[in-house]
Amino acid sequence: MEYSAWKNAKSKKELIQFLLYNLPMERLPEYLKRGIIDTEKTKTVRHILKENCLNTVCEAARCPNKSECYNKNTATFLIMGSNCTRNCRFCNITCAKPEPLNPEEPSKIADAVLKLGLKYAVITSVTRDDLNDGGANHFAQVIKEIKKLTPNVKTEVLTPDFQGNHNAIDTVIKAHPDVFNHNIETVPSLYKKARPQAIYSRSVEFLEYIKKNSNIFTKTGLMVGLGETKDELISVFEDLARTKCDIVTIGQYIAPTKQHLPVAKYYEPAEYDELSTIAKKIGIKHTFFSPLTRSSYKAYEVFQEN
């Protein structure tokens, strides 16, 4: 609910919903606070997205960097609807019944990429375990439409695990995104609590499979602050180094609402520098670790550094 929805709330239930989902859940450290930026650029981005009936993870996941990215004429497209078939306890995306795929979505995203003047397009999705290929062909179609309309635009996809289906992974590989991202999200010991329908080893194997079967840059991301230990993070870095993953991002977990997993720890900025140094010594080529880093945050800048 926006402010207007709160103002016009017709029942106690609607008011409670507003409080749960829109008011701050806790006092954040100053380095995690972001002001609201509203400029002609942000308005233009919102208009183009609305005009093309497109979802973004910026909105759906309540990303703290949304205003900054919109002000730079960029956004991360969320494809295959806004409802997820999984129920990860850190994520703000809903797990209601998924919508049918929209066959016009790939061309609408390509049109938005053109209108926004993007040099680098990032496409992610909800998880669609209800589809035989997990939505891999839809990802491929989006990449193809972007390349057809704007051939010089680089593409990065952030996909679910497709339940480990190699044929689905191959479908995306054949569309040849410039970066193939799949997030590890957290350390193995927290999977049962944070993402019970995922499997850590399957996600590691997913990244390894891409690297062994293509020359595409691979990327993954983790959250910190869910209760993991430094030793557990180091173990994950070692696993990722063995897969030859090119880019690893880490950012602070911030609970979207009180209904989500609570924050166990707020990492200080200096701790990200320490973790980055450790990861590079282990063999990770490029790290982007900071409190407000999200998987697609400054994705073009990170890609250019490789």
Q: What are the percentages of helix, strand and coil residues in the chain, rounded to 5? A: 45, 15, 45
* pLDDT recorded at residue 181: 97
d(CA 59, CA 56): 6
Question: Is residue 112 within 8 Å of 49, Cβ to Cβ?
Answer: yes
* Max mean pLDDT range (12-16, 27-31, 37-41, 88-92): 88-92
Res 219 pLDDT > 60: yes
d(CA 213, CA 14): 50
26-41 residue pLDDT tens: 677 777 766 666 667 6
**Per the structure block, which two tokens stand in for 271?**
């701790």
**Per the structure block, which two tokens stand in for 62?**
């309540």
| Domain 36-304 is found in CATH 3.40.50.300 | no
d(CA 126, CA 134): 10
d(CA 112, CA 87): 29
- Give residue limits of the domains in the chain: 36-304
96-153 residue pLDDT tens: 888 899 999 999 999 999 998 889 999 999 999 999 999 999 999 999 999 999 999 9
273 confidence band (pLDDT: 50, 70, 90): very high
48 confidence band (pLDDT: 50, 70, 90): confident
By DSSP bridging, strand 286-289 and strand 120-125 are unpaired
* pLDDT recorded at residue 66: 56
9 confidence band (pLDDT: 50, 70, 90): low
Q: Starting at the edge strand that comes first in sequence, how are the strands of the sheet with 286-289 ordered?
A: 55-56, 76-79, 120-125, 154-158, 179-181, 217-224, 247-252, 286-289
Res 243 pLDDT > 70: yes
Res 6 pLDDT > 60: no
Three-state DSSP class for residue 121: strand
What is the pTM (predicted TM-score) of this model?
0.85
> Which are the contacts of 63, defined by CB distance < 8 A and separation ≥ 6?
57, 69, 76, 294, 297
